[in-house]
Copies of this chain bind each other. A is one copy, B any other.
Amino acid sequence: MPKAVKIGVIGAGSATFSLGLVKDLCLTENLTGSHVTFMDIDGDRLEAVTKMAERYTQEIGSNLSFEQTTSREVALADADFVINTAAAQSHYHQVDMRAVYATHGYYYRGPGFGSYYNFNLMLDVARDIERICPDAWLIQSGNPVFDGCTLMTRETSIKVCGLCHGHYGYYHIARTLGLDIDRIDFQAPGVNHCIWMTHFIYDGEDAYPLIDKWIEEEGPTYWESHVAEGTHDIQLSRGTVHQYRLYGLFPIGDSPRLGNWWYHTDIDTKKWWFGEPFGGPDTHIARPVHVENLEKRLNQIREASEDPAAKMTELFGTEKTREQQVPIINALTNNVEGQFQVNVQNNGAIEGVDDDVVVEVPAIINSKGIQPIQVGRLPKKIMLEQLLPMILNMEHGLEAYRTGDKSMLLWEALNSGQTRSYKQAFGALEDILQQPGNEDANDHFRYPWPTGHESVYLEE
């Protein structure tokens, strides 16, 4: 007899995410009768989402039930699963920060205080779960998955599973090569935003040679002429293929777009590596387009929600999303086994990574739990140049957060590939911490010396 569940969604105001979840629940017969509590700090969006969820469920004839609350405690009460999709600071705040970076000579990314606000939020949620519903699974669906899940699993005793979309990047390769997704078998372990495709199998055969052939025959033309279909269309860009040439494995999804500062120094360089017209998702050209697309969709949803005649099933469709949340819930609850791409504590799944670091690996999930597949070792060069530096950087960020040592933020700023001098990094960090909205962070981080002493180290 399949079991229904009680799900608390933190940051439920995102209609796209929440309605996708509702849709997947409606289309998963096993979970019929489940109860979802939407929680958000924005009461208006919460109200709209809840209404739409009810309309969708009614249209499709499912018997899910919903509740809305601005109280996290209410959302967690008796929860079997908690999905956290909340982000602490907005797109608009990030735009302001980018303007400050620019005045100090940084393009797009600059000195900062790591994930201070998101870490606070994640730890608050995790500690509430520990207290209110200690047996619940937390499905962490907001960034930073890597750092945040590592932090939560170390600081609390709750069960955490982090999810991301990045691994679907192999779809893009398949589509470009004209391959049928359903005949592909792949594997891409690593840590979130740094995963490497160790296996790409088509009809049971290694399909990397097909990629090699494509690069050989079509790569150069593609890099000259391809116009990105979206801001994130970089999976076969010159920059990504360059990384493949260096490492022998493809970096997948978000992996090729982060790190390795020399791809990212300015818009021309980014276009060269990641293509026209955006230069990848992290540029002053791409980001507004991405945010605008999100807003267009949001407006479309808002209008539909205010129109009693609008069909929710038309707005959101009646096909399952490719999100993993609901299938994982069903696997854990009703033993409908599947293989998923999850972020969980390593415990030996990847060789050479500490046990208490959260890695992104395939896992078999059923009512026994989430059981990661031991993928063994990644190529040593990837470990030394990509994975281990990223892990060290994560550890550094967590320690800076834990201690509130401002000089660790300065150290991180100094180690940005765009920093030219001590003074530049120092000044940019000061300025960022002084920005409206960053008061708590500014209060949290302190230099390890008496106030004002830092001037001794600033040459006129």
Cβ of A449: which chain B residues have Cβ within 8 Å of it?
Answer: 245
Interface residue A453 (Cβ < 8 Å from any Cβ of B)? yes
Report the minimal beta-carbon distance from A455 to chain B, rounded to whole angstroms. 11
Query: Out of B388, B448, B453, which one reaches A392, CB within 8 Å?
Result: B388
Instruction: Name A386-415 residues within 8 Å CB distance of B.
Output: 388-389, 392, 395-396, 399, 403, 405, 407-408, 411, 414-415
Q: Is A265 an interface residue (CB 8 A)?
A: yes
Are A248 and B448 neighbours in the complex by a CB distance under 8 Å?
A: yes
Inter-subunit contact A422/B262 (CB<8 Å)? yes
Across-interface contacts of A245 in B (CB, < 8 A): 448-449, 453
Cβ of A1 under 8 Å from chain B: no
Instruction: Tell me whether B407 and A384 are in contact (CB under 8 A).
Output: no
Determine whether the beta carbon of A456 is less than 8 Å from that of B220.
yes
Cα A260 to Cα B248 in complex, Å, equals 31
Q: Which residues of B contact A417 (CB under 8 A)?
A: 414-415, 419
Shortest distance between the CB of A332 and any CB in chain B (Å): 35
Q: Of residues 424 to 456 in A, which have CB atoms within 8 Å of B's CB atoms?
A: 425, 448-449, 453, 456
> Do A457 and B242 touch (CB < 8 A)?
yes
Query: Could you say which interface size class chain A belongs to?
Result: 35 or more
With both beta carbons as reference points, the residue of chain B lying nearest to A459 in the complex is identified as: B272
What B residues does A420 contact at CB under 8 A?
265
- Beta-carbon contact of B238 and A421 below 8 Å: no
B385 near A396: Cβ-Cβ < 8 Å:
yes
Contact with B along A148-176 (1 / 0, CB 8 A): 00000000000000000000000000000
- Report the Cα distance A414→B411, complex, angstroms: 18
Q: A425: nearest residue on chain B (CB-CB)?
A: B262
**B405 & A381 in contact (Cβ 8 Å cutoff):** yes
| A120 on interface, CB distance cutoff 8 Å | no
Give the docked Cα–Cα distance between A162 and B439 (Å).
50
Chain B hits for A261, CB < 8 A: 414
The answer to whether B407 touches A246, judged by C-beta atoms less than 8 angstroms apart, is: yes
Q: Are B262 and A421 in contact (CB under 8 A)?
A: yes
Assembled-state Cα–Cα distance A265/B403 (Å): 30
Per-position binary interface string of chain A over residues 334-361, scored 1 when its CB falls under 8 Å from any chain B CB and 0 otherwise: 0000000000000000000000000000
Given A262-B421, A384-B399, A449-B245, the answer on whether A238 and B457 have CB atoms closer than 8 Å is yes
A405 to B422, CA, bound (A): 33
A269 at the binding interface (Cβ < 8 Å): yes
Cross-chain contact B456 with A421 (CB below 8 angstroms): no
Whether A456 lies near B385 (C-beta < 8 A) is no
Q: Is A380 an interface residue (CB 8 A)?
A: yes
Residues from 278 to 307 in A contacting B, C-beta threshold 8 Å? none
Encoded as 1 (CB less than 8 Å from any B CB) or 0, chain A from 240 to 275 comes to 001001101000000000001111010001001000
A395 contacts across to B, CB distance below 8 A: 384
Within 8 Å by CB of A421, from B269, B399, B403, lies B269
**Residues of B contacting A448 in the complex (Cβ-Cβ under 8 angstroms):** 245-246, 248
| Residues of the B chain whose Cβ atoms lie less than 8 Å from the Cβ of A392 | 384, 388-389, 392
CA distance A279 to B380 in the complex (A): 38
* Nearest CB in chain B to that of A386: its residue: B411
Q: A265 touches which one: B263, B415, B421 (CB < 8 A)?
A: B421
Residues of B within 8 Å of A272, CB to CB, are 459
A-B contact pairs, 10 of them (CB 8 A): A219-B456, A245-B453, A246-B411, A261-B414, A269-B421, A380-B399, A381-B405, A384-B396, A385-B411, A415-B417
**Beyond A246-B411, A262-B421, A392-B392, 4 additional pairs, beta carbon < 8 A:** A220-B456, A246-B407, A269-B459, A381-B408
